[in-house]
């Protein structure tokens, strides 16, 4: 069964550094998403991406964040200058249409 | 904007007992409804979903959920839990607006199973 994959599984970075989180969505899916989950809290929507552009973003998704689909398979989330409060689990998800979203295993980001 | 309430933060049940996890949503129409499960350190696995039609939906691992429009609820049930069901369970809603496909999650219910 096709799965969403994410790399790396864990990332430790220094405050102020740039990080890129990578996702490979399910191959015939057209909608892509990033969510995050701060430890002990609920999963929060960050951004959705369709037809090579952002379709919606939350207030969390400020100018420090960007998303890109650099080729036909990858979907990336870049945090330009990480803050301590960016420490969280980041989940990528994809869907074929505006229906069921399938989630990847997540990338645990720790900002020191 | 849509919202989801899961009133039970933590539930403990005995193995073999029945289970019901509560979920209430707020949305102007009938949204798409989902239950996801998250095992420790793992990602989110879809248990089941409701889009339309039969209000009782069956999912994986023996779970089912019932959509009740009058109560704005989508409670998750299982007749007999197994130790492997211990996990965090999230209810989520998706609005039906094109271009607004984001999932809004509840705060989750942590399920503990005792022998």
B39-66 pLDDT, tens digit per residue, is 887 789 999 999 888 899 999 999 999 9
Nearest C-alpha neighbor of A103 from the set A33, A46, A37, A29: A33
Question: With contacts defined as CB-CB under 8 Å, which chain B residues touch A106?
Answer: 42-43
Please, which residues have CB within 8 angstroms of residue A47's CB and are 6 or more apart in sequence?
A: A33, A34, A54, A56, A57, A58, A61, A65, A67, A77
Q: Mean pLDDT over residues B90-105, rounded? A: 81
Residue pLDDT, tens place only, A75-110: 999 999 999 999 999 999 999 876 789 999 999 999
Helix (H, G, I), strand (E, B), or coil: what is residue B100?
A: coil
Task: Write out the two tokens for A99.
Answer: 């229906």
Residue pLDDT, tens place only, A20-53: 999 999 998 989 999 999 988 889 999 999 888 9
The pLDDT-based confidence of B29 (bands split at 50, 70, 90) is confident
Instruction: Judge: B102–A91 Cβ closer than 8 Å, yes or no.
Output: no
Q: Mean pLDDT over residues B97-111, rounded? A: 84
Q: Mean pLDDT over residues A4-23, rounded? A: 96
Nearest CA in chain A to B107: A42
Predicted confidence at residue B104, as pLDDT, reads 92
Q: Which residues of A touch B (CB under 8 A)?
A: 31, 33, 35, 41-45, 48, 55-56, 58, 91, 93, 95, 98-106
The pLDDT-based confidence of A72 (bands split at 50, 70, 90) is confident
Question: With contacts defined as CB-CB under 8 Å, which chain A residues touch B36?
Answer: 103
Predicted confidence at residue A80, as pLDDT, reads 95
Predicted confidence at residue B30, as pLDDT, reads 73
Predicted confidence at residue A98, as pLDDT, reads 65
Alpha carbons B15 and B43: distance in angstroms, whole number: 24
Q: Mean pLDDT over residues B63-74, rounded? A: 95
Alpha carbons B33 and B68: distance in angstroms, whole number: 11
Are B78 and B63 spatial neighbours (Cβ–Cβ below 8 Å)?
Answer: yes
Nearest CA in chain A to B106: A42
Predicted confidence at residue B42, as pLDDT, reads 79
Q: Mean pLDDT over residues B67-87, rounded? A: 95
Query: B56 forms bridges with which residues in the sheet?
Result: B66
Q: Is B87 exposed, middle or buried (0-12, 13-18, 19+ CB in 10 A)?
A: buried
Task: Write out the two tokens for B4.
Answer: 């989801």
The pLDDT-based confidence of A68 (bands split at 50, 70, 90) is very high
């Amino acid at each position: 069964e096709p799965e969403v994959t994410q790399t790396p599984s864990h990332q430790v970075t220094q405050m102020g550094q740039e990080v890129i989180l990578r996702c490979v969505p399910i191959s015939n899916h057209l909608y892509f998403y990033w969510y995050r989950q701060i430890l002990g809290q609920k999963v929060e929507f960050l951004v959705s991406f369709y037809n090579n552009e952002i379709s919606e973003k939350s207030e969390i998704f400020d100018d420090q964040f960007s998303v890109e689909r650099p080729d036909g398979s990858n979907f990336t989330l870049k945090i330009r200058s990480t803050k301590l409060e960016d420490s969280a689990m980041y989940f990528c998800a994809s869907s074929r249409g505006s229906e069921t979203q399938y989630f990847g295993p997540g990338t645990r980001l720790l900002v020191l | 904007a849509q919202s989801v309430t899961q009133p039970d933060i933590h539930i403990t049940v005995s193995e073999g007992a029945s289970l019901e996890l509560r979920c209430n949503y707020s949305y102007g129409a009938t949204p798409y409804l989902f239950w996801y499960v998250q095992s420790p350190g793992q990602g989110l696995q879809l248990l089941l979903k409701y889009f339309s039609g039969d209000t009782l939906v069956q999912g994986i691992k023996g779970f089912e959920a019932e959509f009740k429009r009058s109560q704005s609820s989508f409670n998750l049930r299982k007749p007999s839990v197994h130790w492997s069901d211990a996990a965090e369970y999230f209810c989520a809603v998706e609005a039906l607006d094109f271009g607004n496909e984001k999932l809004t999650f509840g705060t989750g219910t942590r399920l503990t199973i005792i022998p």
